[in-house]
Structure 1
Amino acid sequence: MIILALNAGSSSLKFAVCCTDSNTFPMEGIIEKIGTPDIFGVLKNNGEKLLLTLGGKDHQAAIQVVLATLFHELKQSGQSIEAIGHRVVHGADIFHSATLIDDSVIASIAQLSPLAPLHNPPTLEVIKAAIALYPSLPQVAIFDTAFHQSMPEKAFRYAVPDAWFENHKVRKYGFHGTSHSYVSAEAIRRFNLCPDTSNIVVAHLGNGASATAVRGGKSVDTTMGISPLDGLVMGTRSGTVDPSLHCYMKNEAGLSVEEVTDTLTKKSGMLALSETSSDMRDIWAKHDQGDSKAQMALEVYSYRLAKEVLALLAAFPSKIDALIFTGGIGENDKRVRARLLESLAWIGFEIDHELNQVGGDTKGQITKSNGPIAAVIETQEELEIALQTKALCQ
C-alpha cells in the first residue's frame, strides 16, 4: 500500500509517503515554524529537495500545500495515496489501538484537547483538512497513549480519590507511544533479546521528552502522566513540579491556573533555566562559553534524566537489558548520552567513547560488551504510523 503518514507537532508537520511493501519512503518532508512569519517547508522526492511555497501560516494551510504537492508528484509516477495515518498525541483510555476516523473520533480528540493543548488542536486541523481534500480515503488515528495502555494499575493510578479516577479519568497515560513502540521492537530485533522477557528503557529525548520501561515489548511504566507536561525536563516544558505550585503562584503572584499551566508548558524547561533557548545546541554553545545559566540548566537536565531512568528500573523484575536513546537529542547529542551513562556506570553501563562519538556501531551500540547494552536507534514514527494504518485498512 501507498500510505501517507502525518505527524503534526505544535509548530511543525512531518509527512512521509510510505510504500509498505518495502517499508521505504519515496517522498518525505517537514514544515517547520508553523504559526510564525518564518514558516518554511521542504519535500524530499527520491533524494531531491524541493522547497514548498506556503500561502498561510497555520496547520490547515500547511496540510493543503502538502497534499496538493504530493498528489501532483505521485500522479507523475502513476501512483496515488491509498490511506492516511495521523499521529494523535492524546487518546486517554478511550483508544487502545489504531482507529478509523469518523465524526465520533474527531469529537473525542477535541474533547481531550485540554490534556494536550499544544498537540491535539493542530492535529485536528490537519485531520479535518485531509478529510475535506480526500473524503473517500480511509483515515486512521494512531494514538501516542495507546502503547501505554498495557501499564499495570499500580503504575498508572494516582493516589487521588476514586471518584476522580472513575468520573474524570485522572490517571497516568504516557506519550510518544509510536516512538517507544517502534524503537523497543527494533532493539529486540537488533540485539536478539527475548521478545517476552526483555527489559528495555527507551529514552525519547527531543524538545518533548519521555522515558519508558518496556517489558517483553509492552509499556509497563513511563515518565509522562495525565498530560505531556509531566516527567523529564524538556525544551519549554517544566516536567514534574510540586502539584501545589498552581495554588502557590495564584496566591503569591495572582496568576490564574491557566496562566501557570501556560508558563509551565511554553515558557519553562531548558528555555527558562538557561535563559538562552529551548534548543540544546544553543545551550551547549553557551555552556562552552562559560555561561553559568546554561551550565546549571544542563546539570538539572542530566540529573533529572538519570533520576527518572533509575526510577523506571523498579518496573523490572530483573536487571535491565538495554537502554535506547532516540529522538533528536537522543540520536544526536553525544554529551547528553555520555552524562547519563556515566551516572549509570555503577549498575554496569560502560560507555565506549569512540562509538558514542559516532553514534554507535552498525547496530547503534555505544557501550562495551561486558555490561548492559546502551544504543542509539533512530526513531521511525512515520513508519510505525504507516504500518499500523496498513494493518487496519487491509
Structure 2
Amino acid sequence: MKILVLNCGSSSIKYQLFEMETKTVLAKGGIEKIGLPGAFIKFNAADGSKKVIEQEIPEHTVGVELIFKVLTDPVDGALKSLSELDAVGHRMVHGGEKFAKSVILDEEVLKAFEACNDLAPLHNPANLKGVAAVSALLPEIPQVGVFDTAFHQTMPAQAYMYAIPYEMYEKYGVRRYGFHGTSHRYVSARALEYLGMEAEGTKVITAHIGNGGSLAAVKDGKCQDTSMGLTPLEGVMMGTRSGDIDGGAVSFIMKKEGLDADGISNYLNKKSGLAGISCKSSDMREVFQGSVDGDPKCRLAIDMYTYRIKKYIGSYAAALGGCDVLVFTAGVCENQSDIREMVCKDMEWMGIKLDLEKNAAIHGEEAVISTPDSKVKVVVIPTDEELMIATDTMELVSK
C-alpha cells in the first residue's frame, strides 16, 4: 500500500510517500512560499541529489498538483501513475475536544474540524486547503486526518482545566489541549517497544524539544498531562516562544508597550524564548555556541531553557507517581547531547543516572543513554510523525 502524507501550512506543503509493507519512504520534499514571489518545490531526485523547481504557486491546489507531477515524473518520480496511490494522510493541527483519534475525512468530519478554526486560526484553515486540493484533483481517493491534539484527549479534567471562571470553558472551549501529540504518541510507544516493555503499568515522560517544545506524562500508554495549553505558547521555553509566563506580566507589558492582543501574541510567540533572552538567535546551536564563547545572555538562555525542562520532568514524575522511562526526541534533544546532559544533571534523586560517555556519542539515533543501574531508563528516540500518520491512514482505509 502506498500512502502520501501531507503537512500543509499557510504558505507551505511538506510531503512524504510511504510504501507501507516495508515502511519505506519512497519520496519526500516540500513546497515553500505558496502565494508569494519566489515559490518553489524541493525534493530528492532519482540520483540522490536535491532538486529545486521554481514556479508560480498561487494556492494549495496548484501546489498539490505540482507534488503529484513530481511524484509521477518519468525520471525522478516514485510512481508510474497516481492510480498507484492508495490514500492520503493529513497532519491536522487542532481537533479540539471533537477528535480523540484519527478519522477518515468526510463532509461531516471536515465541518466539525472547521468549527475548531478559532482555536488554531493560522493552522486549521491551511490543513483544510490541503484536503480540498487533494479532493479537487483525486476526488475518489480516501483521506485521513491525524490530529496533533488527539493523543492528549485522555488528560483528566484536573490537568486540562484552567482556574478561571468555568463559563470560559462552556462558552469558548478555553482549556489545555496540548500539541505535538502525534510525536508524543509515537515516541512513547516506540520507546517501550525498543526496551521490550509493555505499555500497561508503565510511567513514561516524553520530551519533544525542537524549536517548539513540549513534554507529556504518559501512563499505561495514555497521556495524563502535557505542557502546551490552549495554544502552543504555554509550557517550556522555546526558540521564539516564552513558555509559561505570569498573566499579570502580560497585561503589564501590554500597558507599558502599548500592545493590543495581536501585538502581545506576536511578542510572546515570535520575539521571546531563546531569541529574546540571548539577543542572538532562536537556533539552539547558535545560542549554545554563544554560551561556550562566554556570552552571558546566551549562557542565561541555556540555563533557563534546560532548567524549565528539568522542572517539568520533576513535576510529571510527581503527577505519575514515579517514572520508568524518560524519552528525548525532536531536533534539539535528538542531536544535542550537551542539552540532554544539562537536563539530567542532579536528577539522581528520581532515579536518573546518565551514561555521560554514551550520551555524548549519540546524535539522532535510537539509544539507551542511562547507566545499567539507573532506575529510570533514559532513551533517545528520533520522532517520526509522518510514519505515524501513514500508519493510522493505512489502518483506517484497510478496515
Report which stretch shifted further, 98-107 or 291-300: 98-107
Point out the more displaced range, 330-339 or 159-168: 159-168
Select 2:84's aligned residue among 70, 80, 85.
Answer: 80
1:171 aligns with 2:175: yes
Name the amino acid aligned to 1:130. Answer: V
Pick aligned residue for 1:227 from 227, 231, 234:
231
Picking from 184, 188, 200, the partner of 2:188 is 184
- Compare 195-204 and 29-38 and name the one that shifted more: 29-38
CA distance in 1, matches of 2:57, 2:288: 30
Aligned length: 393
What are the superposed Cα offsets for residues 189-222 of structure 1, whole Å, 9 maximum, x if unpaired?
1112232111111100111110001111111111
Cα distance between partner residues in 2 of 1:171 and 1:211: 17
Q: Indicate how the Cα distance of structure 1 residues 220 and 47 shifts in structure 2: closer, same or farther if over 3 A, else same.
A: farther
Amino acid at match of 1:188: L
Report the more deviating stretch, 269-278 or 173-182.
269-278
CA distance in 2, matches of 1:58, 1:180: 34
Structure 1 partner of 2:24: 24
Q: Does 2:381 match 1:377?
A: yes
Q: Do structure 1's residue 297 and structure 2's residue 301 form an aligned pair?
A: yes
Alignment of 1:286 onto 2:290: yes
**Structure 2: how far apart are the matches of 1:282 and 1:30?**
25
What's the counterpart of residue 158 of structure 1? 162
Which segment drifts farther, 238-247 or 375-384? 238-247
Map Cα deviations across residues 325-370 of structure 1 (whole Å, 9 max, x no partner). 1101111111111101114233221111221122179851111010
Unaligned runs of 5+ in 1: none
Give me the whole-angstrom Cα distance separating, in 2, the residues matched to 1:83 and 1:30: 19
Q: What do residues 80-123 of structure 1 show as CA deviations (whole Å, max 9, x unaligned)?
A: 21111111111110111112223444444444334334433432
Q: Which amino acid aligns with 2:194?
A: R
> Is contact 2:72-2:82 (8 Å) kept?
no
Return the offset for 1:239. Answer: 1.0
Q: TM-score, normalised by structure 2?
A: 0.90
CA distance in 2, matches of 1:255, 1:77: 53
Corresponding residue for residue 263 of structure 1: 267
Tell me the percent identity: 37
- Cα gap change, 1:285 to 1:117, in 2 (>3 Å): farther
Structure 2 unaligned spans of 5+: none
Whether the 8 Å CA contact 1:237–1:265 is kept in 2: the answer is yes
Distance 1:47 1:209 in 2: 35
The whole-number CA distance in structure 2 between the counterparts of 1:124 and 1:368 is 46
TM-score normalised by structure 1 residue count: 0.91
Cross-structure match for 1:355: 358
Return closer, same or farther for 1:81/1:198 CA change in 2, 3 Å cut-off. Answer: same
1:244-296, CA deviations, whole angstroms, 9 ceiling, x for partnerless residues? 34432332222111210122112211111111111111112222222222111
Q: Is the 8 A contact 2:57 2:63 kept in 1?
A: yes
User: What is the Cα-based RMSD across aligned positions, in Å?
Assistant: 2.5
Q: Which residue of 2 aligns with 1:137?
A: 141
Deviation string 1:1-21 (CA, Å, 9 cap, x unpaired) is: 211112245775432111122
**How many Å apart are 1:64 and its aligned residue?**
3.7
For the pair 1:193 / 2:193, whether they are aligned, the reply is no
In the other structure, the counterpart of 2:371 is: 368
